[in-house]
Amino acid sequence: MGQVLNCISPIDGSVYASREVLSRKDAFAAAERARAAQANWAARPLAERVELVMAGVAAVGALNDEIVPELAHMMGRPVRYGGEFGGFNERASHMAAIAAESLADIAVGEDESFKRYIKRVPHGVVFVVAPWNYPYMTAINTVAPALIAGNVVMLKHATQTLLVGERMAAAFHGAGVPEDVFQNVFLDHGTTNDLIAGNAFDFVNFTGSVGGGQAMERAAAGTFTGVGTELGGKDPGYVMEDADLDAAVDTLIDGAMFNAGQCCCGIERIYVHESLYDAFVDKAVAIVRGYRLGNPLDADTTLGPMANVRFAEEVRAQIAEAVDAGATAHIAPFDADDGGAYLTPQILTDVTHEMRVMRDESFGPVVGIMKVSSDEEAIRLMNDSEFGLTASLWTRDLDRAARVGDRIETGTVFMNRADYLDPGLCWTGCKNTGRGGGLSMIGYHNLTRPKSYHLKKVTT
């Protein structure tokens, strides 16, 4: 037997699922089957590809009652929140709806002598490496448009959510998508590296850590394989003096704590105008003290364990270091906090940017709140980060939000909302958050390449 991947459930530390990785030989054979299947898949009419992909999406939805507790076992999200099918379906449906327009030929001009146009053609074999925190929604961001555009897909899911890719592939196959067109694969890091370095893929989409993204780029070096990445984040919220205070507190604290803080665009630091600061902190503390930490299979649980003990250890370390350096922790330990995956959510004040909790990605249920006196100060602090995914601005003045947003180094600017992925907008980042863009028309452009046609007519 080769190497085995084990999903350790955060509920009780037991092995929830195990799968054996493919050998190097079998992995390359899978990639060759995918490549062989691509031309026939791309030759199918666009409408047929859309129909098959959406049938696969519906088939995943039909399994939701099984998927929700499965996710709780694998990564700890409470069952009360009902899984991910709403967002999964919304994203795929939007990409299906805009496919014809996004993939249409670009007419450049035609006269009696020439016809000129640009086509969007699929890359070929797209390798999707998906994360565990929103395992269905993050995967479908690329899987659906890649297949619709005429690519074939090989999906490698995180070990923490080992069964997700298997579920998706089986559902899509049952709906009529050919098995070699959409493959779920279990791979170790060495074989993954060899496949990328060996030109097995034409495009790689990776969502995960900065280190993981760097490993993907190193593997692809010299191959000219495109690599799209969404990596770390340290997303800020900024509450201006004219903000709707209650809405700002409710949304930003939910954005910081939902899914035990394990959200790509979760709020990790908050800057509040001095006139609202004390009231904001008081309301935030009251909200967090009302959470119920516990077993995610319990319908009364509002905050489950972090997905892995080592993730919780990092958050505890950041909190402890901040408190030692002068930060104030406002939440007393919850009874369910076991020192392991079950972690008390925390609000910190008296924080500074010298503390790791305000610089490093926490990816857990902790947020630091700082007082600011002006837009200038808030902009400087929001940009004082190696990451750039989203920022959430709270004001009644749309023009002001746009002006501030223009100066913030992020991929998305929210006004009066946070922690939401709109499939009509490009999902992208800058700095160490990575490069590329998913969803929207731009997502299709990143999953295809331009091909120009300059056709001279014979007129005699």
Q: Which of the residues are catalytic?
A: 230, 264
* Rounded Cα distance, 137 and 142, in Å: 9
* Rounded Cα distance, 331 and 256, in Å: 14
The residue type of 270 is I
Beta carbons of 458 and 115 less than 8 angstroms apart: no
Please list the alpha-helical segments (H only) found in 384-458.
398-406, 440-446
Picking from 179, 181, 180, 206, the residue whose alpha carbon sits closest to that of residue 192 is 206
Residue/partner pairs of 322-330 with CB below 8 Å, 24 or more apart: 322/348, 322/351, 322/355, 322/356, 322/357, 322/358, 322/368, 323/348, 325/352, 325/354, 325/355, 326/350, 326/352, 327/351, 327/355, 327/357, 327/368, 330/281, 330/285, 330/288
Q: What is the CA radius of gyration of the chain?
A: 23
Burial (0-12, 13-18, 19+ Cβ within 10 Å), 20: exposed
* Rounded Cα distance, 33 and 230, in Å: 28
* Rounded Cα distance, 78 and 296, in Å: 4
First to last CA, the chain: 70
Alpha-carbon distance values, 415 to 197, 251, 391, 393 (Å): 42, 11, 9, 5
* Rounded Cα distance, 223 and 201, in Å: 10
Beta carbons of 134 and 99 less than 8 angstroms apart: no
Beta carbons of 425 and 440 less than 8 angstroms apart: yes
DSSP 162-205: TTHHHHHHHHHHHTT--TTTEEE----HHHHHHHHHTT--SEEE
